[in-house]
Amino acid sequence: MTSEFDVIRQYFQRAAKDIPLAVGDDAALLDIAPDHQLVTSADLLLQDRHFLSDTPPDTLGHKALAVNLSDLAAMGARPLACLLSLGLPSIDHGWLQQFAHGFHTLAKAAACPLVGGDTTRSPQGLVVGVTVMGTVPRGAALRRDAAKADDDLWLTGYLGAAYVGLHVLWGKQTVEAAHHASLIEQLQSPQPPYIFAPHLRAVAHAAIDISDGLMQDLGHLLEASNKGAELDYQALPSHPAIQHLDGKQLAEAVLTGGDVYQLCFTAPREHRQTILQLAKQHQVRVSCIGRVTEQKGIAIKHLPHPDWMPSHLGFDHFLD
């Protein structure tokens, strides 16, 4: 019979070079570079709440880490290591192998080795908890409370695809077959800009990840910074696979759709060219979507019809 220790050894214990002590003691031991600060965040993913029970295990392993890497990216931090807590309904070796593959593949790409965690039986359903740790030079973290009036407002990646993808999986939305795979991939395999983000420290004032939707998370950034913003609706990067939606549906997906593990950041106008060059160099799509204002609230320019303004502005884990 498989024990907890076998599960850990078999699927999650990898030699992590440069880590003084990883999986296998009471705790992991990590070095922090001199004059750097530790950045840390945790996310909990629950079956039927954050993912459907038939989610492919490799994409779930990827996503569990990706949503956490997105939080590090939002601070401009470089990944250091992660911990994984798994509550498993049963020991399914095929499932574990694929989950571990998805997790480790992203961990390797992001230089964020798995150094510890916990494994237990969870009869009520799968529980996936990830904690990430990263580092930033002292005082250099990108915070959400540092936006300045007249900063450009930027976004990485595209908007709305994960939201539409989820509605497709729920059977509430149909899309052309040509777009189906792309939408599901955006939902299940988010690619936060974890390599690009640390470069933003040199040019950006404030940043936040927009995992709860653009309007809600931009709202948090502006509230923390005591500012407002003017958005140009026409500049919002709606994902190519959702551009066939009718206007009101599209506006809802783009403005409120969550599960977007991308960044919204603010930067002074003089850095516009540098940001475009950095984005090109790191193959990250960036869009300048408006500007920060002293005037509070979010004004949306060029929205084709006032009725397109969604009444509900983002995802909340208790309201939804």
Site for its own copies in 65-94 (CB under 8 A): 70-72, 74-75, 77, 81, 83-87, 91
Q: Which of 16, 40, 59, 114 binds its own copies (CB under 8 A)?
A: 40
3-class SS at 214?
A: helix
Closest contact distance (angstroms) between CB of 135 and its own copies is: 9
The nearer residue to its own copies, 228 or 258, going by C-beta atoms, is 258
Residue 84: phi and psi, rounded to 5, are -130, 125
Contact indicator for 154, 267 with CB cutoff of 8 Å? yes
Q: Which of 46, 169, 235, 313 binds its own copies (CB under 8 A)?
A: 46
3-class SS at 11?
A: helix
Strand-pairing partners, residue 111, are none
Which range in 105-113, 203-211, 237-245, 304-312 contacts its own copies by CB under 8 A? Answer: 203-211
With 0-12 / 13-18 / 19 or more C-beta atoms within 10 angstroms meaning exposed / middle / buried, residue 122 is middle
What is the Rg, in whole angstroms, of the alpha carbon atoms belonging to the chain? Answer: 20
The residues in 224-263 that bind its own copies, with binding defined as CB under 8 A, are 224
Answer yes or no whether residue 201 interacts with its own copies by CB under 8 A: no
The residues in 8-37 that bind its own copies, with binding defined as CB under 8 A, are 20-21, 24-32, 34, 36-37
Answer yes or no whether residue 157 interacts with its own copies by CB under 8 A: no
Closest contact distance (angstroms) between CB of 102 and its own copies is: 19
Answer yes or no whether residue 312 interacts with its own copies by CB under 8 A: no
Residue 226 backbone class (left: φ over 0; alpha: ψ -120 to 50; beta: rest): left
The nearer residue to its own copies, 119 or 238, going by C-beta atoms, is 119
Answer yes or no whether residue 38 interacts with its own copies by CB under 8 A: yes
Contact indicator for 216, 209 with CB cutoff of 8 Å? no
The residues in 108-147 that bind its own copies, with binding defined as CB under 8 A, are 115-125, 127, 129, 131-134, 136, 138, 141, 143-145
Query: Among positive and negative, which fits the CA dihedral 139, 145, 150, 152?
Result: positive
